Structure 1
């Protein structure tokens, strides 16, 4: 079931006894828990009972769930780090869980508690019986990072929740400015909504006015325009960056970094790595990796290495020249790529 459909049920008071939150998108996990807190009578952030399953055995969680609540109708219990659901080395586990006890309990969960298992992992071990049991007997909330059309659709839905409208094209512009972090996108939408007094349609002009663009995104646009031979667009972006206070030496370094990232991503893709694996291996934002992987106009390895060599020469020129440094990089952009 999609996250939005689960949230709708929670908002309507249709709350399941047990949830399994799995995936790597922390924002979606946090929002699911916030909705449960809001939907449960006499429950707030201070009354939520939390366990760390890497420190506490599952028996303690079940015992708490079966204990009658004191003031609430139903108590909310969050069991974090359900690492027994992923492939792991048992010899390194700090806690031994009574999985058989959990499997039996799931057949008849407590009617006076809502238990949320949090497994913040990209992949669970589907071979394990307990993984299959939880997936069958709980409401599973998959919170993986959104990409492409799913991401722009989420932006449109989030805007609607805030009382404003945004079309798919403008939603993509917001993503281009902000990246694919749902927390950042939600924050920027809230800011835009406040500016619009909670009514109307978000426009490109509003985004340009209110949303700071990630420096990496401007460098990506600049590099992409240069490598596709669009001299006019390259110079325009370059001058915009200069007006915003960027220095030619810094821009040269950032462009070289973008080229090196392209080389690394291309190499790892050939080895069969996926987007999240590449981002983790290279310690960069997944959205930057996504843009490179989706770009069909990236030159071959030989040409990328040649550009790096040219940029090294430009860097030396910029650090040794006493004239107009802006012109040095501009001439480089105007030269045709070979």
Structure 2
């Protein structure tokens, strides 16, 4: 089932007795769960109508027994189950033995007074399992995958509009550039900007620059961008700013290694005809991160990226063995790299 369709169905009062929610976008999964609770359970009844389990600690028998038990003093209840072993390929606990056939039987005839929700924080379900096949056949599976860059942009604009504010297009782009793709962080920064804008106000680029701090990982994106453009001065200034924020040079170097490695992978996959979406799946990156990485990768040759990774490996060893002062060592690397260019 599509995420948008699941939200639409819920809004229209169409609620399934069982859901299997999986994926890495925890913000959307949490939002779906919260809306489901708001839809079915009054705030004062949550203590009686909301039950939580974890398949790493509780057997499926005890979970089904709870699901089949009539709710007490409330018309219906929600059973939330965090799972990494029944529907995904996680390791089962030696302490907990699950009789999956019990759940298969329940899926065929679920309780009318319980909504059973499995929350599976994994990128994929284990397609080999009967449970997964049965859940998919029943159309109760919802995939919570990362939003694309366009979807993220639409989402933050919709968040502003729903609160009676207007978000400038450039402000939205700058917010994504500063915060990245973490929806929890984006939501928190948007709420701050919405409050600052005031009723029927407009969120501007100036407001974003003034109120939103650039995340460390996004600063590393900017560092590599400055190096590719031969802007050594801005790169060094950005490095000094990160040091003032008490960022560790070794941590910054590790992030740079990851970014240069991703750039190399993106170039290689691009040459093999992979689409950005396919690259995201292969590399475990958000589609927006792939887009930015691909733009940067075009400014570097494959040979230059391989050389930079080799130089960073040598610098890492020198810094960790005390042969080179870590702060000075990374600064010298930036100066050398900026003057040499992308190759």
Please, what TM-score do these two structures have when normalized by structure 2?
0.76
Q: Which residue of 1 aligns with 2:158?
A: 157
Q: CA deviation at 1:210?
A: 1.2
The runs of 5 or more residues in structure 2 that have no matched partner are: none
Q: CA deviation at 1:18?
A: 1.4
Alignment map for 1:34-183 (pairs within 5 Å): 34-43=34-43, 45-47=46-48, 48-87=50-89, 94-166=95-167, 169-183=170-184
For 2:214 and 2:55, the matched residues in 1 are separated by 39
Q: Which residue of 1 aligns with 2:28?
A: 28
Q: CA deviation at 1:307?
A: 5.2
For 1:60 and 1:163, the matched residues in 2 are separated by 46
For 1:263 and 1:113, the matched residues in 2 are separated by 50
- Alpha carbons of structure 1 residues 148 and 29: separation in structure 2 relative to 1, 3 Å: same
- 2:54/2:82 contact within 8 Å kept: yes
- Alpha carbons of structure 1 residues 65 and 214: separation in structure 2 relative to 1, 3 Å: same
For 1:267 and 1:152, the matched residues in 2 are separated by 27
- 1:153/1:168 contact within 8 Å kept: no
Q: Which residue of 2 aligns with 1:235?
A: 233
Q: Deviations over 1:146-170 (max 9, x none)?
A: 2322222222233333332335553
Please, what TM-score do these two structures have when normalized by structure 1?
0.77
For 1:258 and 1:66, the matched residues in 2 are separated by 49
- Alpha carbons of structure 1 residues 228 and 329: separation in structure 2 relative to 1, 3 Å: closer
Q: Deviations over 1:128-180 (max 9, x none)?
A: 22212112325332212223222222222333333323355532321111111
- 1:147/1:180 contact within 8 Å kept: no
- Alpha carbons of structure 1 residues 28 and 255: separation in structure 2 relative to 1, 3 Å: closer
- 2:24/2:146 contact within 8 Å kept: yes
- Alpha carbons of structure 1 residues 289 and 253: separation in structure 2 relative to 1, 3 Å: farther
- 2:76/2:114 contact within 8 Å kept: yes
- 2:170/2:205 contact within 8 Å kept: no
Q: CA deviation at 1:34?
A: 1.1
Alignment map for 1:270-285 (pairs within 5 Å): 275=280, 278=283
Q: Which residue of 2 aligns with 1:215?
A: 216
For 1:305 and 1:214, the matched residues in 2 are separated by 26
- Alpha carbons of structure 1 residues 64 and 83: separation in structure 2 relative to 1, 3 Å: same
**Residue 117 of structure 1 aligns to a residue in which SS?**
strand
Q: CA deviation at 1:252?
A: 7.7
Matching of residue 265 in structure 1 with residue 262 in structure 2:
yes
- Alpha carbons of structure 1 residues 298 and 100: separation in structure 2 relative to 1, 3 Å: same
**Residue 62 of structure 2 aligns to a residue in which SS?**
helix
Q: CA deviation at 1:295?
A: 3.2
Q: Which residue of 1 aligns with 2:197?
A: 196
Q: Which residue of 1 aligns with 2:14?
A: 14
**Residue 47 of structure 2 aligns to a residue in which SS?**
coil
- Alpha carbons of structure 1 residues 227 and 100: separation in structure 2 relative to 1, 3 Å: same
**Residue 81 of structure 2 aligns to a residue in which SS?**
strand
The runs of 5 or more residues in structure 1 that have no matched partner are: 321-325
Q: CA deviation at 1:332?
A: 7.1
What's the C-alpha RMSD, in Å, of the aligned pairs?
A: 4.1
- 2:55/2:83 contact within 8 Å kept: yes
- Alpha carbons of structure 1 residues 238 and 198: separation in structure 2 relative to 1, 3 Å: farther
